[in-house]
Structure 1
Amino acid sequence: MPAPFGSGRVIGLTGPVLMVGLTGGIGSGKSAVAARLAALGAVVIDADHVAREVVAPGSAGLAEIVATFSDRVLDAHGALDRAALGAVVFADEAARRRLEAITHPRVRARTAELVAAAPSHAVVVNDVPLLVEVGLAPTYHLVVVVQTAVTTRLERLTRDRGMDRAEAERRIAAQADDARRRAAADVVLSNDGDLAELHAAVDGLWRDRLVPYEGNLRARRAIRPEQAVLTEPDPTWPEQYARLAARIRHALAPADLCIEHIGSTAVPGLAAKDVIDIQLGVPSLAEADGPLAERLADAGFPRLPGEWWDNPRRAGSGRWEKRLHGSADPGRPVHLHLRVAGSPAWRYALLMRDHLRADPDQRAAYLHLKRELVASAPDSATYGTLKDPWFDEEHLRAEEWAERTGWRP
């Protein structure tokens, strides 16, 4: 049968229950991670199990499949013969789509029922083998990928499942490779050691990230890095931004708002606080204060109170006209700046980013300032305020650069 969820949205981030997507290649040990999370208290929903449940004997799903493809897809006991069905649909694109139209809505509906039945404080883990392949990563608050060396996976599949090596290699090749999974992962659990090592890693994830994330999400509480600590340039910052942006787009769909990576983590080669700054262009601040704010909070990006990030001097400057959201995820600090698209504040953030990207000398000067300020004013609020005079002066140079180069946002 095809992948259980297809290309549609499975679970919208529409409530406070923390939704975690769990995936990994065949033979990676994903099931061991799911079992450990269940033992720790997670509500685990197995996508393969749900896909079988909705086409079980006596189900409306199976009846519709038989009506569509005839009883040649049944075995001698009246159950679905998956091999026979596969022979029908895998060679026929139209047939495959008819099958997906039958199964995918039922899988989504049953999954939603299971999520709705979970306690309000639950951590719900959706175990989906093909989560990456069918593009479901943005539908979760967090994606966990179990990664294991291909040689180890081949050994497990031949030893534990009785596959011959050629079949095991074919199964692995048919799925996404490790690089594609890592790009979708907020957390990568390595499973090249023994079971005790894997359990220790899962326990740490549960204790340090999933449980606090769930509490923050339910309380609409954003994490607040109190200390200004510079991190050396991380080449994965753009990739991390892309995951966050996809999650935000999913939460706000069908609205199609402009999302941009801004701030120091958007400037290659620049050391920065390990906080991803994202700008969301909104039609008006009134709309930013409406249902949009709730949808962002449901997706894991609750509003930060103004007094934490604002001050009277900044309030008097047009470039600070915004709303600021943070992240409920303790493992990934975020500042999500909601500014009116096309406004001076919106333009300023893009101009300063692109100016620093283009001017290595001013980038070096900014880095020197950042290091001095961190040494003298390590708390985040003071650090941010003390940068303002430099930006006031640099803004003039940036405008000259924009005029000279024809820059437009």
Structure 2
Amino acid sequence: MLRIGLTGGIGAGKSTVSKIMADLGAVIVDADLIAREVVEPGTPGLAALVERFGNDILTDAGALDRPALAARAFADEESRLALNSIVHPLVGARTAELIDAAAEDAVLVQDIPLLVEGGMGAAFHLVVIVFVDAEERVRRLVGSRGMPEADARARIAAQATDEQRRAAADVWLDNSGEPGALEPEVRDLWSERLVPFAANIRTRTVVRPLPELVAPNPRWAGEADRLIARLRLVCGERAVRIDHIGSTAVDGMPAEDVIDLQVTVADLATADDLAEPLAEAGFPRIEHITSDDPKPSSLGGETDPALWDKRIHGGADPGRPVNIHLRVDGWPGQQFALVFRDWLRAEPGVRAEYAEIKEGAAGKAAGHSSYADAITAYIDAKSPWFDTAYPRAWQWAERSDWKA
């Protein structure tokens, strides 16, 4: 099952996006609708609210009078916490029921207004943000919903900023245009990314693009941060640490558009235990390892080659290729991944040198149409450089008193 977190500021139009996705076949779990459902007349939720706040929160027809409840529940902190202690567990339980009832092959979209504010992004395979400029949202709330302008501005101010939403977004949908203008983009997202992503999770398929060098992308760091948050949630205490490594972790460095991450574990048995949880989270294991893995081709007898063993996972998301290297804490491969990254960050001359090597290697790879042949040519072209780069990196580490 592919789980999508959908959110956006009030008045941005996430309900419109939700409806389009529902029409395309998504299973929608709407937090606002659930919050209303669990306090409908006759529910235990409404009975609990009446017991805590009194009959004055009911209309003459016996339904919840929301303004009356708000006046009581937000009068002080104790009352607000009491409201949350009643409603939040009910919403959580109903949400879990709906998720459990969804088909295994479903694309499940959870429409959550305060997803960013609640720091919930890591729980989803992707977070989709619907964006509209704040002033336009005020105009829409006043014009379409009849909301007083002061209320509209206050509600917008109480929510996450655009910068916070941008940092949380795997997909950014700009809904500033005319009504209906966003629909083709949502449909393309559905057919080109979400449906293939869901299929790749089911079949444990890794997206592996041909090695092609691209210009440095300032978004790589934020994408790595979101991926690391998801990995932390999956791995828990089994991960000693998780790091962004490789060329995409070095500012100004051209690279393949593939994020490399390293999950440090206590031993390879732990890495094997994580195989299925990582696959469910959208990171299937790559059984036959062929990776752009910087290490010397000859260890000079100084290190047991077995200590370079690792497990590697990729990404099922067509929109974000990733390599996830699971290495044992303190083993040479784990240490070198970190020192190599930091050496590149610290030494502009080495960055330029390695960029030239990578460019030549990409040229060698360009002559091949299959991934296996292309990545082999790419690695083979870089390997001789690593025979000398490996000791140079460690010499730098010793001079600079480097610590992992």
| TM-score, with length taken from structure 1 | 0.91
The aligned residue for residue 312 of structure 2 is: 324
Percent identity (aligned) = 50
| Corresponding residue of 1:132 | 116
For 1:299, the aligned partner's letter is A
> Which stretches of structure 1, 4 residues or more, deviate above 4 A after TM superposition?
313-316
Task: Give 1:374's aligned residue.
Answer: 362
Find out whether 1:400 has 2:395 as its counterpart.
yes
User: How far apart, in 2, do the equivalents of 1:220 and 1:98 lie?
Assistant: 44
Of the three residues 345, 352, 357, the one matched with 1:357 is 345
Please state whether the residue corresponding to 1:197 is helix, strand or coil: coil
In the TM superposition, what is the alpha-carbon distance from 1:145 to its structure 2 partner? 0.4
1:341-352 residue pairs with structure 2 within 5 A? 341-352=329-340
CA deviation map 1:135-180 (0-9, x unaligned): 1111111100011122321221111101232222222111111111
Is the contact made by 1:319 and 1:348 (CA closer than 8 Å) also made in structure 2?
Answer: no
How much does 1:73 deviate? 2.6
Check conservation: 1:138, 1:243, Cα contact below 8 A.
yes
Q: For residue 279 of structure 2, what is the amino acid of its counterpart? A: A
Paired residue for 1:155? 139
Aligned length: 391
Amino acid at match of 1:165: E
Comparing 293-302 and 192-201, the one that deviates more: 192-201
Q: One-letter code of the match for 1:105?
A: P
Give the AA of the match of 2:275: A
Quote the residue 1:3 is aligned against: none
Q: CA deviation at 1:194?
A: 2.2
Q: 1:384 to 1:104 in 2, by over 3 A?
A: farther
CA contact (8 A) 1:89 1:96 kept: yes
Q: CA deviation at 1:307?
A: 4.3
Q: Which amino acid aligns with 1:191?
A: N
Classify the secondary structure of the residue corresponding to 2:182: helix
- Contact 1:318/1:345 (<8 A) preserved: no
Q: Residue in 2 aligned with 1:279?
A: 262
Pair 1:238 & 2:214 matched: no
> Is 1:289 aligned with 2:275?
no
Change (3 A) 1:164 1:41: same
Q: Distance in 1 between matches of 2:298 and 2:111?
A: 46
TM-superposed deviation, 1:87: 2.2
Q: Does 1:304 align with 2:286?
A: yes
Q: Superposition pairs for residues 176-195 of structure 1, below 5 Å?
A: 176-195=160-179
Structure 2: state its 5+ residue gaps. Answer: 367-373
Contact 2:361 2:379 in 1 (8 A): no
Cα distance in 2 for partners of 1:91, 1:408 equals 52
Paired letter, 1:138: A
Q: Please tell me whether the aligned partners of residues 364 and 381 of structure 2 are also in contact (alpha carbons under 8 angstroms).
A: no
Task: String of CA shifts for 1:351-381, please: whole Å, max 9, x gaps.
Answer: 1001111011011100011111111223233
User: 1:108 deviation in Å?
Assistant: 1.4
- Once residues 383 and 74 of structure 2 are traced to their aligned partners in structure 1, the CA distance between those partners, rounded to angstroms, is 60
1:250 match: secondary structure:
helix
Q: Give the match's secondary structure for 1:387.
A: helix
Query: For 2:290 and 2:394, how far apart are their aligned partners in 1?
Result: 29
> What pairs with 1:234-273 in structure 2 (closer than 5 Å)?
234-253=217-236, 255=238, 257-273=240-256
Tell me what 2:371 maps to: none
Q: Deviations over 1:176-224 (max 9, x none)?
A: 1111101101000111112332000000000100000000011121111
After alignment, is 173-182 or 260-269 more displaced?
Answer: 173-182
Cα RMSD after superposing both structures: 2.0
Q: How far apart, CA to CA, are the structure 1 residues paired with 2:324 and 2:401? A: 28
Amino acid at match of 1:42: A
Residue 22 (structure 1) aligned with residue 16 (structure 2): no
Deviation at 1:275, TM superposition (A): 0.5
